[in-house]
Amino acid sequence: MDLHDRIYVAGHRGLVGSALVRGLAADGADNLLFRGHDELDLTNQAAVDAFFSSQHPDYVFLCAAHVGGIHANDAYPGEFIRDNLAIQTNVIHSAWKHGTKKLLFLGSSCIYPKLAPQPLREDALLTGPLEQTNEAYAIAKIAGLKMCQAYRRQYGFDAIVAMPTNLYGPGDSYHPENSHVVPALIRRFHEAKLAGAPEVVIWGTGRPLRELMHVDDLADALRLLMHHYSDPAMINIGSGQEISIADLASLIAEIVGYRGTLRFDPSKPDGTPRKRLDTSRLEALGWRSQTTLEMGLRETYEAYAAHRP
């Protein structure tokens, strides 16, 4: 990737997109293309095609997606499958049609079967049933990666697919119902501390294990892949830092300074029991995650607290 070429980051205001923009700017990229949702609706095929026709980006990071935590995925499956299929189909097709040199599609670790052997290897895809609560989102992401592979095979389009683990960091959504686990817990404990609440209720048993990675580490890996990776096979990106939901909640409560009781509600869904990625293929390229979980969570909370009451 030439850092002076036209580089389009789709979803530049989101968690991953904003981290990519920071990283690309630090690398010296000086021709970055952005369009907010108010300027370009990526679910609108005609609008996306007009953008690519006029701007002709050389490289595309497809980070835009309709995302959310376990509650949002379970409650709004129609929105998750419809919007994500539309976004990725429009962007991938228009990028190929208008001569983009290379596209990186961002998947999700939820594409893997619910009970696949751990750690999750890339070849575990489509070997078993998906986790029901996020099945619609996972199917959309699987369709996106298959579209990249199909366009590479039929048209020779240099489309690559990266599969990240669970992410956190600055730029995340702290929506009270639809956010992912780390921002959800940060907000709950912060508000409980301010209110002097005696306890915080957490969904599920607390037993599921999650691998967590700081989004700046992901952005670093994505830039490396755009420079050095060109293969039809998707590639995992993970940190190797795994923790139970119960231990994660305790750690975040300590960082926030909440001293009340943590109560788990087993009537709520746990989601996938475990999701740790096998990153041996990425490590063979010389990349490893650099941010420790505690350091990353402290930085994330400090950023959140600085902009909250």
- Give the per-residue pLDDT at 70: 75
**Total domain count, the chain:** 1
Low-confidence ranges of the chain (pLDDT < 50): none
Tell whether 96 is in a known binding site: no
Q: Model's pTM, two decimal places?
A: 0.93
Tell whether 13 is in a known binding site: yes
Query: Domain containing 151: what range?
Result: 7-171+212-240+284-291
Tell whether 22 is in a known binding site: no
- Could you read off the pLDDT of 63-120 as tens digits, one per residue? 999 987 777 888 889 999 999 999 999 999 999 999 999 999 999 999 999 999 999 9
Tell whether 99 is in a known binding site: no
Domain presence at residue 191: no
- Give the per-residue pLDDT at 50: 98
Domain presence at residue 307: no
- Give the per-residue pLDDT at 309: 56
Domain presence at residue 250: no
- Give the per-residue pLDDT at 72: 80
- Give the per-residue pLDDT at 121: 97
Domain presence at residue 304: no
- Give the per-residue pLDDT at 177: 73
Which CATH number belongs to the domain containing residue 164 in this structure?
A: 3.40.50.720
List, by residue number, the catalytic residues.
Answer: 137
> Peptide bond before 119: cis, by omega within 30 degrees of 0?
yes
Tell whether 285 is in a known binding site: no
For the chain, give the DSSP string.
--TTS-EEEETTTSHHHHHHHHHHHHHT---EE---TTT--TT-HHHHHHHHHHH--SEEEE-------HHHHHH-HHHHHHHHHHHHHHHHHHHHHTT-SEEEEE--GGGS-TT--SSBPGGGTTSSPPPGGGHHHHHHHHHHHHHHHHHHHHH---EEEEEE-EEESTT----TTTS-HHHHHHHHHHHHHHHT-SEEEEES-S--EEEEEEHHHHHHHHHHHHHH---SS-EEE----EEEHHHHHHHHHHHHT--SEEEEETTS----SEE-B--HHHHTTT------HHHHHHHHHHHHHHT--
Domain presence at residue 252: no
Tell whether 230 is in a known binding site: no
Domain presence at residue 178: no
Domain presence at residue 228: yes
Domain presence at residue 41: yes
